[in-house]
């Protein structure tokens, strides 16, 4: 039995609320169970130095966690004076994941920064961040099309992420904090709606694991992301009044 | 006329939602017009080095702003590797303001950290932070009493803050961003419910101003904070089920 | 009785020595009792990025304290690798205060940096810094006029600062260190010679205080700055040979 | 055809030289084609704060690259004042990978730090670092056994890593720099000699990829690591005179 | 001819004023021509971690330069967030030089920090700092003897420093800024009153130089330091009322 | 007797291996006894800001030590976030030493960075770094001539460095770590093949020393560098196939 009483292949409830951030070109407050991440997309008419004059756009991400998003208060990274290795690893993952579905040349010399800030944490924050960031990005791109800055959406697909783990209950989908901190292995799957792989990060926490465990987790992830793709689509449609 | 159409002595709508942060001992999401600040109080059973063994408690504050809380995206302080002078100034103000109404020896060797994170900014974020932080602090202290850690609330009063400014419409109460960025002077008043002064910060933005302008702003502030004290009281009562 | 035996409305002796720094365009070593601050004005033919091409000048300030300016040695900020929140707060205050009396567009695309370094500290260093910095700035501007870089002084007035506090002896003027560390409230007044307000920072140290205490301190400050304005004028006249 | 003329399932030549570092308890200079990484294991009789008094040991890793290990000179991280996100990500991966095969409680209150410094880079430096670090760690543990500090090797297995990628030549094993910089996908496999998974990091560089590509790369990796396990065993045997 | 009209073996005027810093256990404001350095000695009843419990004392130094001590304003190191390589090199030299004449075990578990801050710079600041720091240190030690903390001065001698250089006028003593910036070689000699060598730093600026040039500079330095030893002795005698 | 059994004027064995770094324009792995330093020269077609447009080239150096180059592991400077004062002092010395023999205007607007990384340390690392860096620089310049970027070598001579010290065995040449850590004085001589002085750094470790000790060490150094000049010449000839 899982601590939450969920079935092995059962996601936590997912909601995506758009427009929470008043000023951002796109924003999504995603809730996956007790995890809440505010994702904003900020559009700027410039690109990093390495892209200047090449006619291509850029998508990047930053990740943060409010000090008391967690059970006990964590140090504020701005006060410590640096981002932890974990933070950098996560924001690099979010950036790569989103770039994999954007047609950067079609975007033109525009940068979009995806800020993903965790307001409440209960496991799976990086996956929620990727899933929410896609909605924020999609809405920002929609505005650029509506404003005739772009002729069409420079998007090649839809991306979402979910974690799976090996627990005492076997392979399970969408770990919460209680499961995550006790799991023997933890795997994050970043997948597209057309069933392709964007990124897989499988990590043995305590002891190396067998390939069939990996395969079982992959199968659960396929199920899980389909729920997320639906939630993303519904949120975008609601926001754009379709 | 004010950009928002408000009267000179009219506050923006104020709401205080408690419990937004799931894990904090006390939390308040305060909204003053378009400004939204999430305030959490975190209790820890230890005090800073300079207080160890003295039997006294400590209250401190940290302040942050999500990168896209503002009209255009600001740099993330954690990524820059340091907190700006403005951030430090504000968090020092919040800490001093709250400490002025806490009986630190009565608190005992306990630290309470007030994290004030701006989710949306439309002027007056430091005042909203102080006002919301008092609610978070009050709820956390209430829990310590309920848990018999403390015999009674180590609180000497209620503190709230509001800004006033000199604008084209004369002295006005509770500046929003449009007013703040154009005001000739900007004054923050941190006051107590028993009509005492905790802190006054009056600043000429463009040109020095006369004493009677200061007096007019002080009068407006007295009016404004009474609204905030009521909102604080209502939020605490609702949260504690009175 | 005050620790120093002074009357409540009595300033400490004030002297301002110009030319102490050999290379600066303007310099003033101000002594207020045992507090000594070396203020220099450095002129540069460029402005910060946000002002480039706008035809306006800039005035900014930096503040420091020698490690052994105080009773016990403090850590050197350059060695710690960052300026404290207190230092940043003070240098921002000095910069704002001086800018409030400069006609920046009339200055043209010139920057003036005011460095205020405390050689000996006995309370009131930020106020002494503002008062001395005005002299250094005034002398540097005088040289620009003498050199025909400017047609006339781009100065709208004279600014000085003094602290007042609530002590066991009641409201008193110009706190020294012994008083400052024991005061119930501490207020810094930055005022102009034409009786306007540039900045007021009133802070309850221990417990909130009443409005009439504030009013009494304001009255003392008005008296105190008149002494400072005279000392500034005398120093400038002596330096320029009037 | 691969740029190097290798077959898709062909590793580059692998050599592991022990004892290169004179002072380290264990060291291995691993060469995989043109990639050379010096791995040292340093034993210390203390553990990080979070483990003190718990009777368990610790294994951690740090990664660096000499500025001119690469085609064009990179900035020295010590001079820049911080480690890049990439560096931190890699050293966290190395640490996790090695810990997965160590019996930390059996190690006792001892820390082992694995320093992996790239002397020459030609793709696959993180995989070479993991593979070489295992040898350095194994030799250091062997010395602890020889010195009767430990009764037996606290090792649960042998770990090595290899990268695979999707290139114009299809799925290939052990990318060199020319392939790595042009690959459509890049996957690092950290595997054990008993055919378990320690970590998988699969990343789409340009565009998401299909599951069968992933499966093909996994198969190549299985082949590749068997070469590495043999090289590790030979190096340890030679060093210990078996 | 030298720019200043001095003879090759002629020092600039030297004065040492004690007591400039009000709070320090010893202080000396040394002036060597237009170079002015404020040196303070701060006594603390503790030693660095590496000396704890060993019964030995410690002497260390820190060096700084006010931003406008120089012809054009330099960046404030505290604002930049780090000390330059030059600053660190100089403060390490000052510390070593003073330690060479102190009997550290006789000092007992006491630390003395020598802060050397340049108020005005005209060449030779590191040499002036060493010479002035000896006076500050000597006075602080004298106070410890007077207070019966120490039975006798734990000093093995007197140390002073002077620079020499190769200029168009040949080898010269005590370079000022004009000479220093144009010299072909620059040598700092730290010597004791009993004619021993504490430190020599000889540097070719433009082109390597011959040994006889070095010998000539050494001879000049011997002459120069005798003037400094007399000035030190006179300052100490005046301060202690001999 | 010396710990190593060497004669007072006996160098340790010296070898210089070129080409160890695959990508650098010039590289030398120098071994002086148990000290091993990898020196690389990196050529870039740009100069620092202060030289831009002046037609002159630049040569600079950076120094580092692998964490386990020493008996006990040192902290990694990249992880600490700053280079120590010692590191900066050494890399400034290396840069100055090499620049003293380069004709910078003849180099043209080209920068050469010399990276000196200590792989194994047994005393004398800075001297080995200077000696090895000259070879790396010479080879890189040779390639620029071979590629017709330069018409001839912009080199005015050959530079090498050696340390001498005062030990229980009297003045000795080329200190190893055992001697270095116990020496009463330590002197680094940077000399040219035409018997000129580039830099001398003489430091009393414990107590000031007499001039004749200095003279004795200088004599030993002259002997020592002649061995190094031969090794440099042989390495260059072998690398260039003379």
DSSP string for E13-37: PEEEEE--SSSSSEEEEEEETTEEE
Asked if the model's pLDDT at residue B242 lies above 90, the reply is no
Q: What gap in Å lies between CA B34 and CA B128, rounded to an integer?
A: 11
Nearest C-alpha in B relative to A113: B73
SS3 label, residue E142: helix
Cβ separation of F208 and E89 shorter than 8 Å? Answer: no
Q: Model confidence at C207, in pLDDT bands (50, 70, 90)?
A: confident
> What pLDDT score does B1 carry?
86
Q: Which of B68, B71, B113 sits opposite A73 (nearest CB)?
A: B113
Which two three-digit tokens encode residue C139? 């002398």
Cβ separation of F88 and E92 shorter than 8 Å? Answer: no
Mark which residues 121-160 of F lie under 8 Å from E by CB: 156-157, 159
What phi-psi label fits residue D141: left (phi over 0), alpha (psi between -120 and 50 degrees) or beta?
Answer: alpha
Q: Which residues of D touch F68 (CB under 8 A)?
A: 21, 23-24, 27, 40, 42, 115
SS3 label, residue B225: helix
Q: Model confidence at C19, in pLDDT bands (50, 70, 90)?
A: very high
> What pLDDT score does F8 carry?
97
Q: Model confidence at F44, in pLDDT bands (50, 70, 90)?
A: very high
| Chain E contact partners (≥3 CB pairs within 8 A) | C, F
| CA A15 distance to own-chain centroid | 14
Neighbours of D219 (CB within 10 A): 14
Q: What gap in Å lies between CA F60 and CA F137, rounded to an integer?
A: 11
The answer to whether B176 touches B34, Cβ cutoff 8 Å, is: yes
Q: Which residues of B touch A44 (CB under 8 A)?
A: 73
Nearest C-alpha in E relative to F188: E201
For chain D, say whether A81 makes contact (Cβ under 8 Å): no
Mark which residues 195-214 of F lie under 8 Å from E by CB: 195-204, 206-211, 213-214
Cβ separation of E200 and F198 shorter than 8 Å? Answer: no
Q: Alpha carbon of F106 to those of B202, C50, F148, F151: distances in Å?
A: 61, 40, 13, 9
> What pLDDT score does D1 carry?
85
SS3 label, residue B132: helix
Q: How far is D113 from chain F (nearest CA, A)?
A: 9
List residues bridging with F44 in a β-sheet: F111
**Domains in chain B, CATH or no CATH each:** 14-239 (3.30.230.70)
Q: Which of F89, F202, F208 sits opposite E92 (nearest CB)?
A: F89
Cβ separation of E211 and F195 shorter than 8 Å? Answer: yes
For chain D, say whether A50 makes contact (Cβ under 8 Å): no
Is A224 assigned a ligand-binding role in the annotation? no
What is the average per-residue pLDDT within F132-140? 98
pLDDT digits (tens, 9 = 90+) for B73-95: 999 999 999 999 999 999 999 99
For chain B, say whether A240 makes contact (Cβ under 8 Å): no
Q: What gap in Å lies between CA F140 and CA F42, rounded to an integer?
A: 8
What ipTM score was computed for the predicted complex, to two decimals?
0.95
pTM: 0.94
Q: Which of D85, D199, D202 sits opposite A204 (nearest CB)?
A: D199
Cβ separation of F196 and E208 shorter than 8 Å? Answer: yes
Q: Model confidence at A99, in pLDDT bands (50, 70, 90)?
A: very high
Q: At what angle do helices E211-240 and E125-146 cross, to 10 degrees?
A: 40
Choose from A160, A186, A208, A212 for mutation: most chain D CBs within 10 A: A208
For chain E, say whether C66 makes contact (Cβ under 8 Å): yes
Computed over every residue of chain F, the mean pLDDT equals: 96
- Counting one residue from chain A and one from chain D, the pairs whose CB atoms sit within 8 A come to 100
| CA F119 distance to own-chain centroid | 14
Cβ separation of A67 and B62 shorter than 8 Å? Answer: yes
Q: What gap in Å lies between CA F208 and CA E99, rounded to an integer?
A: 10
SS3 label, residue B100: coil
Q: Which residues of E touch F208 (CB under 8 A)?
A: 100-101, 157, 159, 191-192, 194, 196-198
Which two three-digit tokens encode residue D181? 């910089």
Q: Which of F81, F82, F115 sits opposite D67 (nearest CB)?
A: F115
pLDDT along chain D (242 residues), means of 10: 95 98 98 98 95 94 98 95 94 97 96 98 98 98 97 96 95 96 94 97 91 96 98 97 84
What is the average per-residue pLDDT within E158-173? 96
The answer to whether F207 touches F184, Cβ cutoff 8 Å, is: yes
> What pLDDT score does E160 carry?
98
Q: Alpha carbon of D150 to those of A31, D99, D142, E234: distances in Å?
A: 49, 17, 9, 66
For chain F, say whether D60 makes contact (Cβ under 8 Å): no
Q: Which residues of A touch B76 (CB under 8 A)?
A: 62, 64, 78, 115
Nearest C-alpha in B relative to A112: B73
Cβ separation of A208 and D100 shorter than 8 Å? Answer: yes
Q: What share of chain C is helix, strand, coil (3-state, %, to 5)?
A: 35, 30, 35
For chain E, say whether C116 makes contact (Cβ under 8 Å): no
Nearest C-alpha in E relative to C45: E72
What is the average per-residue pLDDT within B18-30? 98
pLDDT digits (tens, 9 = 90+) for C115-171: 999 999 999 999 999 999 999 999 999 999 999 999 999 999 999 999 999 999 999
Q: How far is C198 from chain E (nearest CA, A)?
A: 26
For chain B, say whether A8 makes contact (Cβ under 8 Å): no
Q: What gap in Å lies between CA F151 and CA F170, rounded to an integer?
A: 48
List residues bridging with A223 in a β-sheet: none
Mark which residues 217-236 of D lie under 8 Å from A by CB: 218
Closest residue by Cα to residue B66 from C88, A134, A42: A42
Cβ separation of B209 and C199 shorter than 8 Å? Answer: no
Q: Model confidence at C94, in pLDDT bands (50, 70, 90)?
A: very high
> What pLDDT score does D96 carry?
96
Q: What gap in Å lies between CA C71 and CA C120, rounded to an integer?
A: 9
Cβ separation of B208 and C92 shorter than 8 Å? Answer: no
pLDDT digits (tens, 9 = 90+) for E176-210: 999 999 999 999 999 999 999 999 999 997 789 99
Which H or E run contains F131?
A: helix F125-146
For chain A, say whether B42 makes contact (Cβ under 8 Å): yes
For chain A, say whether B73 makes contact (Cβ under 8 Å): yes
Nearest C-alpha in D relative to A159: D208
For chain A, say whether B46 makes contact (Cβ under 8 Å): no
Q: What gap in Å lies between CA E16 and CA E28, rounded to an integer?
A: 6
Cβ separation of C196 and B208 shorter than 8 Å? Answer: yes
Closest residue by Cα to residue E134 from E217, E3, E12, E239: E239
- Counting one residue from chain E and one from chain F, the pairs whose CB atoms sit within 8 A come to 98
Q: Model confidence at B207, in pLDDT bands (50, 70, 90)?
A: confident
Q: Which of E40, E71, E77 sits opposite C23 (nearest CB)?
A: E71
* Cα torsion angle, E85, E86, E92, E93, sign: positive
> What pLDDT score does F159 carry?
98
Kindly give, in sequence order, each residue whose CB lies less than 8 Å from that of residue C236, ignoring residues fewer than 6 positions away.
C18, C135, C138, C139, C142, C242
Cβ separation of D197 and A209 shorter than 8 Å? Answer: yes
| Chain B contact partners (≥3 CB pairs within 8 A) | A, C
Pairing state of beta strands B35-44 and A26-32?
A: unpaired
pLDDT digits (tens, 9 = 90+) for E15-47: 999 999 999 999 999 999 999 999 999 999 999
Q: Which of F68, F71, F113 sits opposite D73 (nearest CB)?
A: F113
Q: Which residues of C touch E58 (CB under 8 A)?
A: none
Q: Which of A82, A157, A202 sits opposite D197 (nearest CB)?
A: A202
Burial D110-149 (b: 16+ CB within 10 A, else e): bbbbbbbbbbbbbbbbbbbbbbbbbbbbbbbbbebeeeee
- CB-based burial label for F13 (10 Å; 0-12, 13-18, 19+): exposed
Nearest C-alpha in B relative to C199: B203
Q: Model confidence at F1, in pLDDT bands (50, 70, 90)?
A: confident
What is the average per-residue pLDDT within F178-201? 95
What is the average per-residue pLDDT within C20-45? 98
Asked if the model's pLDDT at residue C206 lies above 90, the reply is no
For chain C, say whether B80 makes contact (Cβ under 8 Å): no
């Amino acid at each position: 039995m899982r601590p939450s009483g969920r079935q092995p292949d059962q996601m936590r409830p997912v909601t995506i609320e758009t427009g929470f951030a008043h000023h951002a070109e796109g924003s999504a407050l995603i809730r996956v169970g007790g995890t809440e991440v505010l994702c904003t997309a900020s559009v700027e008419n410039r690109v990093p130095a390495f892209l200047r004059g090449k006619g291509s756009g850029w998508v990047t991400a930053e990740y943060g966690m409010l000090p008391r998003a967690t059970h006990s208060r964590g140090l504020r990274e701005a006060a410590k004076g640096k981002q932890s290795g974990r933070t950098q690893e996560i924001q690099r993952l979010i950036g790569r994941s989103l770039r994999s579905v954007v047609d950067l040349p079609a975007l033109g010399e525009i940068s979009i920064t995806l800020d993903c800030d965790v307001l409440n944490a209960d496991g799976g924050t990086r996956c929620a961040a990727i899933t929410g960031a896609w909605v924020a990005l999609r809405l920002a791109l929609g505005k650029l099309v509506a404003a005739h800055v772009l002729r069409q959406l420079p998007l090649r697909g839809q991306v979402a992420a979910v974690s799976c783990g090996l627990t005492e209950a076997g392979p399970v989908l969408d770990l919460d904090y209680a499961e995550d901190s006790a799991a023997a292995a933890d795997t994050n799957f970043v997948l597209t709606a057309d069933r392709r792989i964007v990124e897989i990060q499988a990590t043995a926490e305590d002891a190396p694991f067998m390939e069939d465990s990996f395969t079982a987790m992959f199968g659960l992830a396929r199920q899980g992301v389909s729920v997320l793709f639906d939630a993303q689509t519904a949120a975008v449609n609601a926001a754009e009044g379709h």
